[in-house]
Amino acid sequence: MFDNLTGFFIQWGITALSLWLASLVFSGIRFASTGALVVSALLLGFANALLRPLLFVLTLPLTVLTLGLFLLVINALMLMLVAKLVGGFKLSGFWTAFFASLFISVVSLILGSMLPDGQMTIYRLPQPAPHTISM
């Protein structure tokens, strides 16, 4: 039941770190507290897992027409939704959300590629057989 919990916590930490770095880079993103940052990361993960696929299907013709660039708008809308729901998360506007979501995606991709996932298997070398003396 808790097999994927490690991967969940790793992804949550990566999202929180990416949001924090975005708040340092973009002046239009502010977090009132660390708690607001952590809740925002959790809610952004849930929004991306639950709402983003639905929005993708609903806007599929527009996404195809724009050669996939409309997905950047969907990412910005997810970030704006989280900013509306979390009290200590302030976002100045759409373009800040647009470029911040692009930044968050790139940073999350880089950090996620450097860390192992929750299902990583550890392989061990076989132990050598004990030496026996035969007579």
Strands 29-31 and 89-91: antiparallel
Q: What is the pLDDT of residue 71?
A: 92
Q: Is residue 126 part of a domain?
A: no
Of the candidate ranges 9-13, 28-32, 76-80, 129-133, the one whose mean pLDDT is the lowest:
129-133
Q: Is residue 61 part of a domain?
A: yes
Cβ within 8 Å of residue 62, ≥6 positions away: 70
8 band by pLDDT with thresholds 50, 70 and 90:
confident
Question: Contact 91/108 with Cβ under 8 angstroms?
Answer: no
Q: Is residue 108 part of a domain?
A: yes
pLDDT (mean) for 39-64: 91
The pair of three-digit structure tokens given for residue 18, joined into one six-digit string: 């990416």
In the numeric block, the tokens 């490690």 are attached to 6
Instruction: Please provide the distance, in angstroms rounded to a whole number, between the alpha carbons at the two ends of the chain.
Output: 54
- Percentage of residues of the chain with pLDDT beyond 70: 82
Domain housing 53 = 34-114
Q: What is the spatial distance between Cα 41 and Cα 22, in angstroms, rounded to a whole number?
A: 12
Q: Is residue 25 part of a domain?
A: no
At position 120, the amino acid (one-letter code) is: M
In the numeric block, the tokens 């708690």 are attached to 35
Q: Is residue 129 part of a domain?
A: no
Q: How many domains does the chain have?
A: 1
Cβ within 8 Å of residue 75, ≥6 positions away: 52, 98, 101, 102, 105
Of the candidate ranges 2-6, 56-60, 114-118, 128-132, the one whose mean pLDDT is the lowest:
114-118
Q: Is residue 79 part of a domain?
A: yes
59 band by pLDDT with thresholds 50, 70 and 90:
very high
Cβ within 8 Å of residue 76, ≥6 positions away: 94, 97, 98, 100, 101
Q: Is residue 128 part of a domain?
A: no
